Structures are given as C-alpha cells and as structure tokens.
Amino acid sequence: MSGVNDFAFKMATVNGTGSASANSLLMQAIFRMGIPVAGKNIFPSNIQGLPTWYEVRVSAAGYMARPAEVDLIVALNTNTLAKDIKTVRAGGYVMYDSSWPIPEELKRDDVTFLGVPFGDLAASAFERDRDRTLLRNIIYTGALGALLSIDHDIISEMLKEKFAKKKSLLEANAKAIQMGWDYATAHFPCPLPFHLAPMDETKDKVIIDGNTACGLGAVFAGATVGAWYPITPSTSLMEAFKAFCEKYRVEPGTGLHKYCILQAEDELAAAGIAIGAGWAGARSFTNTSGPGISLMQEFLGLAYYTEIPAVFFDVQRTGPATGMPTRTQQADLMMLAYASHGDTKHLIVFPANPHECFELTVKAFDLAERFQTPVFVASDLDIGMNDWMVPRFQWDDGYVADRGKVLTDAELKALPKFSRYLDADGDGIAARTLPGGDPKGAYFVRGSGHDRHAAYTEDSDAYKDVVDRIKRKIDNAAAHVPAPVIIKTPGAEIGLVTIGGCDAAVREAMDILKAQGFHVDFMRIRGFPFAEGVHEFLNEHEVNFVIEQNRDAQLRSLLAIETGMPRDAMIAVLDYAGMPLTAQVVVNAVTAHFAGVEA
C-alpha cells in the first residue's frame, strides 16, 4: 500500500463534535474525483464526549475492506492520543492540534508530525463556542485537502449543495476549509507522497449504507407494515423506510399514508405486529439486532409452525448480552438458523454490502410469502451503518411479487373443502387464505398441535403429518434462497468459504494469496438452508477455510450440521473483536496454516 490512490487515513475525534459531517464530506469528495473509496465509522455507544474514529481507504484497485494499517491519522482526541499515534504505520504521518504542545513521550521517530493549530485558528476566526468546535473539523478537512490533493472545486461544490439554504453556514464552512488548506500549503510539503489523482471509476457507483438500502428495498418490495423497537445498529433501517415512504407512499390529495409504522413497546410486540400483519395479508417486517431476536424467539416458532410470512432484519452487533452495541459481529448465525424452541429451521439471506441489502430485501419478501414462513435478512453493523461504495441499485419494472399460494374467493368456491395445511401440490406448501375473505376459507391459527385441517390435535400421526410437511417445505427452499457466489481458479485445492460483509476482505485476501502462489477458490454463502452447490464446493477442496466474524465458528458448525462435512475438516478463521475484517487476517491464517503443515 501507500501510493497514489492507494492509502488509508483516519480521523480520531470526540463524538458529538460534528466530525461525522466533515468525514463524510472527505469521503464523498474523493468519490466524486472518480476514485474508489471506503469509509468505516468506529463510534461509541454514546451521544456525546467519547472517542470516535473514521477510517477512509482509497483504493484504485477497488478494495473496499477495512485497511490493516493507516498512513495518516488526524489525532484530535487528547484522551486517545497516545494510542492513536501508535496506530500509524512506520513512515506515516500524525496530524495534531499544535495549539497545545504534544507530550514528548508520545513522539515517535519513525513518523512525521504535522502540527496544525486547529484550536487557535478556529478561535481567531469564529465567535461562538459551538462554531469553534464544529468548524475545527472543517479546518482539518481543508488541511487534508491540500495534503492529499483533493479537488478544491469539488469541495466548494459540495458545500454549496449542503448549505444551499443557509448562506451564513456556507460562508463559515468555506472559510474554514480555506484556513486549513492555506495553513497546510504554507507549512508542509503538499501533496504528501501518497495522495489522490482523478480517476473515472465511480460513475456507475453510489455511496450508501446497508440500513438505508434495506429500508428502500422494503419500499420497493411493497411492504406496508413495519414494526420495531429502537435498537442500535438497526434503528436507521426503519428511519430510512419512513423517509422513503414519506417520499413515495403518501396519497396525493388526501395526504394519507400507504404504510403503517408502529414503534412497539418491545421487540416481542414488534414481532407480534409483523406476524399479525403478515397473517392479514400485508407484506410486513420488523428490524432489530441480536438482543431483539433473542426476545422474539417464541413468536418466531409460532410463525414457523403456523406458517405466517414476515421479514425479520437482524443488523448484528457484538454479543453476547448487551455486548458492544456499536461494534460489528456475525454471531447470531446459529440463533437465526434454528430460532425458537422445538424443531425449527428458518430461511436466511446474507447480504454482503448495501447493494445486496437492496436486492436481497426484495428477495426476502418473496421468499417469506412463497414459503409462508419468517425470513431473516442477516446484516451487520458494518454493512448497515457504514457508507459503502457499491454499484447503483437497479430495478426492473417487470418485477412481479411472489405472493405465494393465497386462495381467492373464486378459487375457494371451486374447492370441495378448504384445508389450511393440506399439501395439495406435493411441494410442501399448503395454500392459505386471508381473513376477510369467503367464509369457506376461515380457519383457526393455533400454535398448539394441529392437523392438516388446522384443527387442534394431540394425535401423533396428525401432528407428524404437519411437521414433516413443514420440514419438506423448508428443505425445498434451499433451491430458492440466493445461491452462493463462487469464484474458481483452475487447479485450486484451497477453498475460502465466507459470509456476509467478510466478502470484501476475503476477496482481497484471495488476490494477495494468488500473488504469493496459492491457488484458491472462493465461496460466499448467501442463503440458508444451504443450496446444493455449497456441499459440492466443500467436497471439491482439499482444505477449506471458513472465515467468519464470531468466536465459536458458527458458520462452520452450520456447514457441518447441514452438509455432513466433518467440522474439524474445515479450518476456522475467526475475527470477532468488533471491527470489520481485514484481508491481512485471512492471509495470515492461510499462510500460517501452510507454514505449519510444511514444517
């Protein structure tokens, strides 16, 4: 790393001081220069006063994973200064606020210190305390602009867009940018050895986060009922759904809503609302995180057994218990796969990035109604809350929603008798009816034992008839959930198996490994129950590495349970301390394994 359009830098600030908008300004400016860029917001579970970091990776090659190291840090948080200075690679740069001297013991010989008197500059130019705090961030944006050769016109243009209606703010921000820019130009050799040069690699791309993409997907899928209980990191998903509904779903003339969002008293109620709405015929969903899914277990079993569609978004965070609410993890896999007491198995889709969040959300609604069962969209904090550069979302106006087997009144009348849980077509899916329709279709939903006619039963055969059919139904769904993404190299004997947001880091690792002479194949799981190709891939490789973000190798366990592949025949590569995966972790694990094998 470290060259033109190939470097990383990060900002260390205090949350609640307005650094977030400065940081997204930087990222977007680079994007508009046509250069691939990724941003990761490492933030605290707090509103004001705790440390926060924002990492920006610039990659001409298009690598979007978190970088293993940074070339430059803007260290503005005195509480984390000591640690922050240590995180810069040898030969890198530390930009700090020289309004106060930096303690001698924190200085390093192998990095260059760039002192900018941010505090003094802000105090000299702005009157109000709040302005001084907020605009200090814009000053470092200007300084970075000069050091990294950001296109000044693009920044000016973005400020104009942002403050189109607030002229005084526009002037203050433009002034702050210029102050930083001028200071850096006058005091440092600009640009630095690593810097930006315009490219043309982003014109088919957008910058968006996964929660926004899921909310948008739910609108496009025709979801009308959304229920939730606020929880980090899934809250912004419902906020996005609401904002898009306000934009697209308000009836002209009356101003009335073609959607209903209910903020429930807890996640149990949110699940109940989603299931009630799914039963009544609406496309419905709830969004939550691991703790919410824990609370929803009983309802998930009910929906599974009574065969009611609804979509459940799990934006995973670090567990167990409250865990680290603002850190990422993929540790809910086992819980989602077999949620609730009794024999259950659930459909899950695993998006890798916001682009897939949009697509797979629509898919999840189709799957839920086709298979009449809860469907999980397993996202995570990294995908959900970070800004990703992804291809523009596409929509085909020929899309026909798969509403599944729902009998119309006319179809009901033609039937000799309606039996809710009768497998008439042999595919494990029994036709359902909706309340309000012809009385012939009326039946009684019950979580207690029921027979194929939906009548209460304690009869062994009648009970088995229903649960065995549900098993067939869920097994059949394996052919309909999103297929794995498989990339093959001729002659490869090593398989890299991964899931979700690990995609970017594992693909990057694959390139690095190939350059080192390893022949590797790649498979990213996108759906559960596993499609047929999953087992095949595992069988094809001498060695399979299963790379995931949890402590207990949950994906590996699922693969072992579901495919019969011996668990210990697969090598677990685990990264679960809350940060997005880096390619280095994967490369190190693979090379260490073979070094060990050879020794």
Partner 1 sequence: MTSIAKPQVRHPGLPKNALGYTKRDYEGAMSTLCAGCGHDSVTAALIQAFWELDLPPHRAAKMSGIGCSSKTTAYFMKQSHGFNSVHGRMPSVTSGASAANRGLTYIGISGDGDSLSIGMGQLCHAIRRNVRMLYVIENNGVYGLTKGQFSASADIGSTSKKGEANVQPPIDPALLALSLGATFVARSFSGDKTQLVPILKAGLVHDGFALIDVISPCVSFNDHEGSTKSYRFTREHEVEMTEVDFVPIRHEITTKDTDSAVTAVKMHDGTVMRFRKTHEGYDPTDREKAYLHVRECQGRGEVATGLLYIHRGGADMHKVAQTVDRPLAELPMSELCPGKGALDKLMDSYR
Site for partner 1 in 429-448 (CB under 8 A): 433-439, 441-448
Stretch that binds partner 1, among 162-170, 265-273, 482-490, 530-538 (CB under 8 A): 265-273
Q: Do the beta carbons of residue 325 and residue 275 sit within 8 Å?
A: no
For the bound state, the minimum distance from the C-beta of residue 173 to partner 1, rounded and expressed in Å, comes to 20
> With respect to partner 1, which residue has the nearer C-beta, 273 or 367?
273
Which residues inside 359-398 make contact with partner 1, applying CB under 8 A? 392-397
**Rounded Cα distance, 523 and 507, in Å:** 10
Which residues inside 280-339 make contact with partner 1, applying CB under 8 A? 280-282, 284, 298-299, 302
Beta pairing, strands 88-97 & 527-528: unpaired
- What is the contact mask toward partner 1 in residues 455 to 474, using x (rule: CB under 8 A)? xxxxx---------------
Of residues 1, 169, 401, 543, which one binds partner 1 by CB under 8 A?
A: 401
> With respect to partner 1, which residue has the nearer C-beta, 396 or 598?
396
**Rounded Cα distance, 530 and 357, in Å:** 19
> With respect to partner 1, which residue has the nearer C-beta, 100 or 395?
395
For the bound state, the minimum distance from the C-beta of residue 443 to partner 1, rounded and expressed in Å, comes to 7
End-to-end Cα separation, the chain, in angstroms: 30
For the bound state, the minimum distance from the C-beta of residue 240 to partner 1, rounded and expressed in Å, comes to 12
For the bound state, the minimum distance from the C-beta of residue 256 to partner 1, rounded and expressed in Å, comes to 4
Stretch that binds partner 1, among 114-122, 233-241, 249-257, 515-523 (CB under 8 A): 249-257
Of residues 259, 350, 418, 518, which one binds partner 1 by CB under 8 A?
A: 259
Interacting residues of 502 by C-beta distance below 8 A, sequence separation 6+: 330, 352, 524, 547, 548, 549, 581
Q: Do the beta carbons of residue 179 and residue 139 sit within 8 Å?
A: yes
**Amino acid code (one letter) for 112:** T
Beta bridge partners of 73: 10, 94
Which residues inside 43-82 make contact with partner 1, applying CB under 8 A? none
Interacting residues of 167 by C-beta distance below 8 A, sequence separation 6+: none
**Amino acid code (one letter) for 489:** T
Q: What is the CA radius of gyration of the chain?
A: 27
> Taking Cα atoms as reference points, which of 5, 52, 40 lies closest to residue 501?
40
Q: Which residue has the tokens 């965070």?
A: 317
C-alpha separations of 573 from 161, 429, 563, 584, 586 in Å: 45, 38, 19, 12, 7
> With respect to partner 1, which residue has the nearer C-beta, 128 or 392?
392
Which residues inside 191-220 make contact with partner 1, applying CB under 8 A? 202, 205-208, 216, 219-220
> With respect to partner 1, which residue has the nearer C-beta, 450 or 541?
450
Taking CB under 8 A as the rule, does residue 264 contact partner 1? yes
Of residues 276, 323, 428, 578, which one binds partner 1 by CB under 8 A?
A: 276
Peptide bond into 103 cis (omega under 30): no
CB atoms within 10 A of CB 160: 12
Taking CB under 8 A as the rule, does residue 229 contact partner 1? no
For the bound state, the minimum distance from the C-beta of residue 343 to partner 1, rounded and expressed in Å, comes to 17
